[in-house]
Amino acid sequence: MKINAASIARLINGKIEGDIAVEVSSFGKIEEAGHEQLAFLANLKYEDYLYTTKASIVIINDSLELKEPVKATLIRVPDAYSAFAGLLQQYQAMIQDQISGIQQPSYISSSAKLGTGIFVGAFTYIGENAVIGNNVKLHPGVYIGNNVKVGDNTILHPGVKIYFGCVVGNNVTIHAGTVIGGDGFGFAPQGDGLYQKVPQIGNVVIEDNVEIGCNTTIDRATVGSTIIHSGTKLDNLIQIAHNVEIGCNTVIAAQAGVSGSTKVGNNSMIGGQVGIVGHLQIEEGTKINAQSGVTKSVKQKNTAITGSPAYDYTSALRSQAIARNLPQMEKRIAELEKLVQQLLQERVGI
């Protein structure tokens, strides 16, 4: 499908510089894009490619001042990255809308309730009393357990598993291999050294507009709910333990783990490979640097921490600077000790 510059500009509220009739049929990176492709420039590190790109249309920031003429048609917007992302979302939605119907083989319980405009891929299982909203896309191999609820316009990619009783909101995207509602890690130590399993009878609630990456696991609560609040984005390979609560519009990068009953506030940012121990309270707006180990609650809003154990980011940087200078400081101390010894010997000699 082709679309011209005028139509793109209307979609993203942009201003055109160049041929309004030029058409594109696909997307490309500015350094690689070719004829009939659309690219964008947001990072000035790539500005030189703007003057050599073969892309037919390039989205750029309003503030960019050109150093030389550009062959491509330009569309200026306040934020090129956001505008390009919006276009990709619309393009993806158009692709998703093209698939519908129920493929075979698949199993749908007679007590399940399905909305309109849904797609059920082959080898999908939908359990008893499950409720599937309108325009939901269940790609091949999805498992929907008994009494699960899935909201409107949600996309579950291949191999996603939603255990019994869990709730998934509207406009949620869950990528391949993710498991929602597996048992929390609850085992009670016994006097004989063995562990007794604590039944996990709660569920997982995922609110609206959440996106979850591939092979992430979110455990069901022991009692009550593990909750992922609206607007939160989780990367691939993340572990969210039982009874955890992740606040609205929080982002968590890959390989992070949040232990049981910890609560993370709204608008927090958690880097890759961060580990957070259980039963903590992480205040809203907290930023946790990659590979940090969080062992204590963060009680002040908008705090940045790093390290293992994690503490104030600025203090940590100063400590790192001091640590790098330790060899030189050791040498200076040794020289001072030698000088003091010489002075003492001279005084004794006097």
* Beta strands at 23-24 and 3-4: parallel, antiparallel or unpaired: antiparallel
In 3D space, the residue among 197, 203, 256, 200 whose CA is nearest the CA of residue 225 turns out to be 203
Long-range contacts formed by 150-154: CB under 8 A, 24+ apart: 151/208, 152/115
Six-digit token string for 286: 């907290």
Please give the positions annotated as active site: 242
Q: 203: Cβ–Cβ under 8 A, 6 or more apart, which residues?
A: 164, 165, 166, 167, 181, 220, 221, 225, 226
> H helices within the chain, ranges in order?
5-12, 47-50, 80-97, 313-324, 326-349
With residues binned 3-state (H G I as helix, E B as strand, rest as coil), the percentages for the chain, rounded to 5, are 20, 30, 50
136 contacts 153 by C-beta, under 8 angstroms: yes
Six-digit token string for 224: 């009550």
